Structures are given as structure tokens and as C-alpha cells.
Structure 1
Amino acid sequence: MLADVRKIAGLAWPVLIGQLAIIAFGVIDTAMVGRYSAVDLAALGLGSSIYISVYIGLTGILTALQPITAQLYGARRYSEIGEEVRQALWLALALTVIGFLILFFPGPVLHLARVPEALHDRTVAYLRILAFGLPAGLAFRVYSSVTNAVGKPRLVMILQIGALLLKVPLNTWFIFGGLGVPALGGPGCALASTTINWGLAMLGMVLLTRVDVFQPFAIFARFCWPVWRRQAAQLRLGIPMGLSYLIEVTSYTFMALFIARFGTTTLAGHQIAGNIGAVLYMTPLSIGIASSTLVAQALGAHRPEAARTLSRHGIMMAVAIACCYAAIVLALRPFIIEGYTPNAQVVAAALPLVLIVACYHLFDALQITTAFVLRAYKVAVVPTVIYAVALWGVGLGGGYMLGFNVSGVTPEWLTGARGFWVANTASLAIAGIGLLMYWRVVSKRYLHADPALRVDSTA
């Protein structure tokens, strides 16, 4: 077990640092735009929520390239990897058209959200600038999927850290103006992000041609048109994966919208709890990505027993670390919250929610790690159904019932934001246990499967 833990940790820590760098982008945008104007800050919050939903849904589809590439890499079918990457770039181009239209013409979405007139123009400007950065963001996702699949996450981490170092000076320049550039406010951080995304995409494509580990794939050695058979295989796996990402994002977004009805103090407490949960989530997410890479490579090499063992050890590792995190949060809860705000009312609102977060995180670690392991087996449809039933049905539906005391018999301590967090914790427990049971079925099936079908099958 120790050897597996070392392998997983060796791949997980660069992913973790890279993910934290990406989180820092949002923190920097919020802090800097907040100093410019309250209207721009509100438009940033609205625009970023729309952009993130579109971006995560589309990049989730492209993430299918990672298990496909990792299995082929384990099987040493290098020329096929080059073909899959070329097809993924064509797919990214098609997805760009969809995403660009949504972001450049956001009127229907903004109308549905009943956006105040004061925010409308700033939000539209923000989204339209990001629309031009979407192609680069999707291209970089192709690069990161290939890089993680071959066990070289540091090549992604280095670029993400470099991007973070550029974010502050570019934000300062475009938000507040200078050197001939007018002050753009909120749309300025969108311009900074778009500029950085194009830089990352171009560097990623160059590295795919220069780094030794990618040479056998001959990715850009020849031109090819889209091949429907390979496109369909990527979409069969990618669409459910994209939907599962979207379900996760929207379940949290709608929870925040419902909790906003309880007032600004309650919403502020919820934001603190949510931020703590998001930071904690990065560790099991990184372990899940690392475990998925190793499991897929083992499956490609026709070693299903090793894949099953790696899966089990990755899941156990994530849950064990989550237990340690939960203990730390429980012990330091008052101090952590006071680091966010000196407001006594907000602290009082956050305290019970952060207590729930400690339990919530255990099931969050279980579900995300198991979900990534299942993706290594090219399994995504059933997990997506589990997510929809658990997160939308139990999490949002149950949270609404408890939070607003629809039945009239909900205990006082389960109403309000606490009801939503308790229901969301229950939904993650259901999702985690359901995914774990399904992984046991899938991994056993692979032990007895025809070796010729293990790499080519999708589910």
C-alpha cells in the first residue's frame, strides 16, 4: 500500500498546487474589482457564475481525453494517442462555437436571471471578452488532459503558477488603466484572463511538440479531418462527465441562491463555509486525478488487479486525509472563521455551518475520488445519474424542504442555511456510497473481461 500511496502523492501534489493557483485567480479578481466599484463587483459575481457554468460543462467533455490517453499510454499504443489528441482539438473547436454564442449573446440568460439594468451592460462586456478567451481555455484543457494522462502534471503546474504571477500586474493595468489603456473595471480582469489563457494555450501546444515524453505521439506530424468514430467515443464518455461537473456546480450555485433569501448575514456565513469547503476539496480532487491516471495506465497495460488495488488505495488515502482535515477544522473552527470576518453576527451564522462542513468534507472526498477512479474505467453514465439523483434530488430538493420548512414539522435547528447544508451532506453521502458500490461492480467485471475489450470499451 505504501508504494501506491507514494505514486499517487507524487502525481497529486503538482495537481493540488495548480488547482490552488486557479482558485487564486477568482480571489484576486474579487479583491481587485471590489476596490474599483460595487457595481463592477456585483457584475463580476454574476458574470463569473455564468462563465464558470459554461466553461466547466464544456471542459468536462474534453476531460474524457485523459482516461482515453492514459489507457492507450499504458498499452503503449502511442500513435493512437496522437490521433485522439487531434480529434480532441477538433472537438474543442466545435464546443467553442457553442460556448462562444452563449457568452457573446448572454441576453436570454441575463433575462432569465432578472439582472438589474445597472449590472446588465457591465456583465455583458465581461462575458463578451471572456468569449474570445474560451477557445484558448479549451485548447489548454486538451493539453492538461494529455499531460496528466502520461503522469507529467508538473508541466501543467508550472504554467499555472506562471499565469498566477502575471494575473496581478495585468489586472492592475486593465482594471484601473494606465499606459494608454483606459480603466475598464470588471471587464478588465476578463481581458487579463483572456490574455493569459491565450498565452497558456500557445505554450501548451508548443510543449506538445517539444517535450520528449510527447514525441512518440507525433501529435502535429500530420493533418487530419474529424473522424466520427473517435469523436463519438470521446463524446460518449465526455458528455456524461461534463454533465456531472455541471450538476456539481449548479447544485452549489442554486443552494446559494436559495440561502440568499434568508438575508445577507446568513448568506455571508454560507459563503465562508463554502469557501472553506472549496479549499478542502482541492486535496481529494488532486488525489482523484492522480489515482485516475495510474488506474487507467494499469488498465491499458492489462493489469486489472493492479488497477483495482490502486483505486482502493487512492480512495482510502483521500478519505484518511479528509478525516485529518475535519479534525483540524473542528479544533480551529472559531479561529478559522474569525480570519474571514470580525463581524460577530456573521461569525455566529458561520459557526454551525462550518461544523457541518467537517462532516460534509468526508463524503465529498469519498465521492470525488471514486468518481475519478470510475472515469479511469471509462465509466461515466451511471455516475452522472447518481449525481443527478443525489445532488439535485436529495441535496437541493431536500435542502429546500428543510431550509424553508415546507412540511411545517422541521425542527428549528434544521431550518435556514443549516437545512441546506445538512441535505447537501446527505446527498454527498448517498453519491459517495453509490459510486463506491458501483466501482466494486465495475472493477470486478474488469477482472474477468476480455483483455482486447478493456481499452476500447466505454460505458
Structure 2
Amino acid sequence: MSLSPVRSPRAVRTEIASLWKLSWPMLVGQLATVGMSVADVAMTGHVSADELAAASLGASVWSIVLVTVMGVMMAINSIVAHEVGAGQFGRIPHTVRQAMWKGLGVGLLACLACILATGLFAHVGIGEAVSERATAFLAIISLGMPAFGCYRALYGYTTSINQTKPIMVIAILGLLFNIGVNWLLVFGNWGFPQLGAVGCAIATAIGMWLMLGAMLVWIKFAPAYRQTYPFTHWEWPHWPEIGSMLRLGLPIGVTYFAEVSAFGAISLLVARFGAVEVSAHQIALNFSSVVFMVPLSFGVATTTRVGQALGEGRARRARFAARVGVWLSVAFGAFSAAGIALFRWDIAGAYTSDPAVQALCAQLLLMTALFQLSDAAQVSASSAIRGYKVTRQPMQIQLFAFWGFALPVGCVLGLAPEWFPWSPAKPMAANGFWIGLVLGLTIAAVLLTWSLERLARSRILENQNQRRDARVCGSTS
């Protein structure tokens, strides 16, 4: 008797190959996107300390809003994946058009949120000059948010029909454009005005609109989109459908916001311990965010594979795809954990030549290595759950893990408040906060993988009951 397809090593290899085919262009695209912010910081840092501070402060707010928009717009990934699996290709163009309206609305609200957030800069004690530059940076860069919301709608559409190459190509072109315009406007080359941090904001805002334009052109002319081309005619917003997309996407946005804002809050709390603590924390955080792009890309691909299987009515195949996606991410987590632990001093030395910062950074990178497995497991499991069109439960789990556990535990260990009976004898500073993160991510990984298995089993039972009922109805008719 032949092995079940779910247990066959050949089936596992085939699924891994399918996941990798979807993931690697997205990974390159994600790294290129991260490279834009790296380029902004690196280039403004060669102008002046004030320009670097302005760009960093503005980008800290902008990145929280940006990631939240990404989460809200992720609903289209699972919706289109289900439609692809069900063979409802005629339905996809309408879904994409409504997602574009949703992206435009979410982008406009994000633009308004960024502009309102500029009022915070006058109250954080950074000096009037830096506050004014950060305000200008955030106000200008926010103008790209409507384009980004629409771009993420097309991003979800194109990944869900198994087309990821345009994401990679457009992101690389966006990075090159960002670096080139930064060189002109940040430093004032070729007769352009030297605008510093504001030049970065202009480059990024224009780049977002150009990336949207490039994606529209690609979809217009690439043969792979002909069957589902969404822009054959004009269509006004259909509010009930947009509301349904928001109900699915808002919990993902809240989840992303919870994670990014928790890391942002830790950055602010660590600042009181001085430049060494802040620098080491930021280096470890920056490096871990780059490594995180790999399991994140696997997670987006897993959402597509699970959604397509469920659209086909194959609940066992969906569970198989989810399990392979999680284990592939965890395997990478084990590999990255070993690499970070072994080369933590080399990584720290590549970022800074300060011995004190290197020493503390090496300690934090060791903790970064500890949470690689749990971080990979939680992002892949939550992505697989979203493939089932379930978003509220991952939101609740991750809100608890980050804001209900990791941040409070980090505050107790890092700040050692005298009023708390079980505080350490003295503040553990950045180390304490990172211990909280390790524990919080572990809790999130355990709860999310348990929830995924439970959800997958329930869908298989539902599928079996539906088939049994269909057989009974057929035999009695």
C-alpha cells in the first residue's frame, strides 16, 4: 500500500519547493524594502547628527504606521487565495477593485495619522531644530501612504495567484531609486538643494507612487494576469464588501501594531540608561529584523498555500501545507540561532567599533539567538491561521504575548521598580527587556501553534461531515 500523500517524503519535498518558489522573490523584495530605511539612516548620518536624529525620529513613527497598514491590507491575501483554490477566477477582479478602494482609504487615514503624530515631537525634549526637521520629514513621507495602501492591495493579489517575481523586481528598483534620489537631495549633488532628512522623505514618498505605477504596468502587460485582470472597467466602492475586508484585516493590523509598538516602547524605556544601552539595543533589534524577513516571507507563502487548499475544499492538504510552512520556518530559526550565537561578536563588530557597545550587543544577540525558534514559529503559525480566514484569535494571542506579558516582564526586570515585590536587586536595563521578549515570543509560539492544530482538525471534521451529508443526500434522492 502506498504512503499517504501527507506523510510521503516526496510530498514534503514538493510542498517545500512550492513554498520556496513563492517565498524567495518576496524575501528579496522584503530585504530591498528594509534596505530603503537602512539607506536613509546611513546617508543622513553623514550629513549631521541633527539630520540623523530627525530622520530616525520621523521614521520611528512612520514605520509603526507603515507596518500597521501592511497588516490591515493582508486580508486580500487569504481572500484571493481561497478564490484561486475554488476556481472562482471571475470573482477575483471584483475583489481586487474593492481592495484598491480599501487601500486608498486606509492609506489616506494613515497619512492623516502621520500628520497628527507630528505634534508629539514638540514634547519629547529633542530640541526645536530637530523637532522641526522631524515634523517636516514625517509630513512629507506621509504623502506616499495612499500609494502604499493601494500597492499592498496589488501585492496581496499578485502573491495569491502565485506571481511573486514582480514584487522582487519592483522592490529592487524602488531601493535603487531611493538611493539615487537620496544622493541628489540629501547631499545636494548635481546642483540640487541639500535637504538632509527631508530629502529622504521626498525620495521615499515619490518612490511609493512609482512602485504603485510599476505594479499597475506589470499587471497590465504580463500574460499571467490576463485571466484575472482587474481593471477592465470602473467600479465604485461596495461598502459591505469593504467592511468585510476590514473585519478580516483590522485584527492583523492590530497584531502588527502591537508587536512594532512594543519594540518601540522598549526603545524609549531603554533610552534612560544611556548611549551604550540604546546603541546595543538598536543594533540587536536592527539585525534581528533583517533575519526576521526570512520566516516572514515563508509565512506569506504559507497563507497563500493554505488558502488555495481550502478554496479547493481540501482541508487535509491545508493542514499539511500549514505544518510544512511552520516546520520550514522553525528549521531556518534553528539555523539562524546557531549562526547568531556563533558569530555574535563579529556581527557586533560590523556595526560598531566601541568596545562597550560591542560587549553589550553580543549579550543581546545571544538572546536574539534564543528567540529565533519561537519567533519563526509564531509568525509562520499566525500566517497559516490567516490562510483559514481567521484573524481575531492571532490578534488576541499576540496582544497578550507582547503587551500583556513581554513588556510588563521586561519593565520589571529592566527597570526594577521598588514598589514591585519580585524585582531584581538592580535594573537589568536592556538585558531585562530582552528576557521579556524571549519569554513573550515563546508564549506566542506555543499558543499559536496549538491554535493552528486545533483549527486544522476542526476544518477537517467539517469537511468530512459535509462529504458524508452529501453522500447521504445523493443516496436518498
TM over 0.5: yes
For residues 213-235 of structure 1, the C-alpha deviation after alignment (integer angstroms, 9 at most, x for no partner) is: 22222311121111122112101
Question: Shift in Å at residue 310 of structure 1?
Answer: 0.8
Unpaired runs of 5+ residues, structure 1, are 454-459
Question: Shift in Å at residue 104 of structure 1?
Answer: 3.2
Give the distance between the partners of 1:402 and 1:265, measured in 2 at CA.
Answer: 18
Question: Shift in Å at residue 248 of structure 1?
Answer: 1.0
Q: CA RMSD in A?
A: 1.8
Unpaired runs of 5+ residues, structure 2, are 1-11, 467-477
Structure with the larger RCO, 1 or 2 (CA within 8 Å, 6+ apart): 1
Question: Shift in Å at residue 110 of structure 1?
Answer: 2.8
Partner of 2:26: 15
Paired AA for residue 393 in structure 2:
V
* Structure 2 residue corresponding to 1:225, chosen from 236, 239, 242: 236
Give the distance between the partners of 1:109 and 1:243, measured in 2 at CA.
Answer: 21
Question: Shift in Å at residue 202 of structure 1?
Answer: 0.8
Q: Establish whether residue 92 from structure 1 lines up as the match of residue 103 from structure 2.
A: yes
Give the distance between the partners of 1:99 and 1:451, measured in 2 at CA.
Answer: 44
Question: Shift in Å at residue 106 of structure 1?
Answer: 3.5
For residues 113-149 of structure 1, the C-alpha deviation after alignment (integer angstroms, 9 at most, x for no partner) is: 4553222211121112112211211121111111111
Q: Establish whether residue 41 from structure 1 lines up as the match of residue 56 from structure 2.
A: no
Give runs of aligned pairs for residues 346-385 of structure 1, distance below 5 A: 346-385=357-396
For residues 407-444 of structure 1, the C-alpha deviation after alignment (integer angstroms, 9 at most, x for no partner) is: 36544698211111011110001111111111111111
Partner of 1:457: none
Pair 180,148 (structure 1): closer, same or farther in 2 beyond 3 Å? same
Partner of 1:456: none
Paired AA for residue 418 in structure 1:
N
Partner of 2:164: 153
The DSSP-based 3-state class of the residue aligned with 2:90 is helix
Give the distance between the partners of 1:99 and 1:314, measured in 2 at CA.
Answer: 32
Partner of 2:356: 345
Contact 1:8–1:290 (8 Å) recurs in 2: yes
Q: Establish whether residue 271 from structure 1 lines up as the match of residue 271 from structure 2.
A: no
Q: Establish whether residue 433 from structure 1 lines up as the match of residue 446 from structure 2.
A: yes
For residues 46-99 of structure 1, the C-alpha deviation after alignment (integer angstroms, 9 at most, x for no partner) is: 101111111221232111111101110111111211111111111122223312
Paired AA for residue 30 in structure 1:
V
Question: Shift in Å at residue 239 of structure 1?
Answer: 0.4
For residues 135-193 of structure 1, the C-alpha deviation after alignment (integer angstroms, 9 at most, x for no partner) is: 21112111111111111111110111111222222101111224453111101011111
Question: Shift in Å at residue 272 of structure 1?
Answer: 1.8
Pair 11,452 (structure 1): closer, same or farther in 2 beyond 3 Å? farther
Please say which structure displays the higher CA radius of gyration: 2
The normalised TM-score by structure 1 is 0.95
Give runs of aligned pairs for residues 50-449 of structure 1, distance below 5 A: 50-111=61-122, 113-406=124-417, 407=420, 409-411=422-424, 415-449=428-462
Contact 1:209–1:219 (8 Å) recurs in 2: no
The normalised TM-score by structure 2 is 0.91
The DSSP-based 3-state class of the residue aligned with 1:449 is helix
Give the distance between the partners of 1:47 and 1:308, measured in 2 at CA.
Answer: 42
The DSSP-based 3-state class of the residue aligned with 2:234 is coil
Contact 1:25–1:167 (8 Å) recurs in 2: yes
Question: Shift in Å at residue 324 of structure 1?
Answer: 1.2
Give the distance between the partners of 1:113 and 1:230, measured in 2 at CA.
Answer: 41
Give the distance between the partners of 1:364 and 1:386, measured in 2 at CA.
Answer: 14
Contact 1:149–1:293 (8 Å) recurs in 2: yes
Paired AA for residue 398 in structure 1:
V
Percent identical across equivalent pairs?
32
The DSSP-based 3-state class of the residue aligned with 2:462 is coil
Question: Shift in Å at residue 371 of structure 1?
Answer: 0.8
Give the distance between the partners of 2:124 and 2:76, measured in 1 at CA.
Answer: 34
Does 59-68 or 171-180 show the bigger shift? Answer: 171-180
Give the distance between the partners of 1:356 and 1:435, measured in 2 at CA.
Answer: 21
Paired AA for residue 299 in structure 1:
L
Question: Shift in Å at residue 112 of structure 1?
Answer: 5.5
